[in-house]
Amino acid sequence: LLNHSLLLLDGFIVRCVPSRQSRRGTVVALQFPGEFVDLHAFPLKRLDHDVVSLSETTVAIIEHEALSDLISGDPELARKLWLMTLVDASIHRHWVMRNSAMRALARVANFLAEYDARVTAAHGAERDSFPMALRQSDIADATGLTAVHVSRTLRDLREDGCCTLSSGMLTLDNRARLHDVG
């Protein structure tokens, strides 16, 4: 049983459901600095998935007993932590929609637009270029496509002037266009 949760301070983490097809499992969530990686473990005391770091990370370990003490004396903090879990659930629903209802180009563009929005939120400012800890196979896993299909889709996005993913860097050549496609 888990007695703590992790708050990501720096780096990049994914949550994965174990799978026989992938050594790591199926990517089901991205976590950015400022986000709890596993806040739902606070009431549930367990996880139904793995937490995997894709880069050097720094996390704060927050004991559930300390969280209980904090929220019992601060209803507004309790409401904000609950809101964080609701936002997390909303992102999960969006992933289900994206991976079941969008064509490949829109899926990958939408995924990269989400990545852009969450990097911006985590760092407090838009950037035209930033590190992308995910490989093409990770993007394929997260979007329900093959790595070959993602490679072709990234080529199409590059040729359309939207973005370029190269050597671990995502460069947004036309953010508005990428968001439109996604």
| Whole-prediction pTM | 0.85
Q: What is the pLDDT of residues 58-108, one digit of tens each?
A: 999 999 999 999 999 999 999 998 898 898 889 889 888 988 899 999 999
Find out whether 178 and 172 touch, Cβ atoms under 8 Å: yes
Please tell me the predicted confidence (pLDDT) of residue 22. 65
Long-range contacts of 42-46 (CB under 8 A, 24+ apart): 42/5, 42/67, 42/81, 45/1, 45/2, 45/3, 46/1, 46/2
Q: What is the pLDDT of residues 15-52, one digit of tens each?
A: 988 877 667 778 888 998 999 999 888 888 988 888 99
Which phi and psi angles does 146 have, rounded to 5°?
Answer: -85, 160
pLDDT of residue 4 exceeding 90, the answer is yes
Please tell me the predicted confidence (pLDDT) of residue 141. 86
- The counts of H helices and E strands in the chain are 7, 8
Record the tokens describing residue 148, joined without a space.
């070959």
Q: What is the pLDDT of residues 122-173, one digit of tens each?
A: 888 888 998 888 889 889 988 989 999 999 999 999 999 999 999 999 999 9
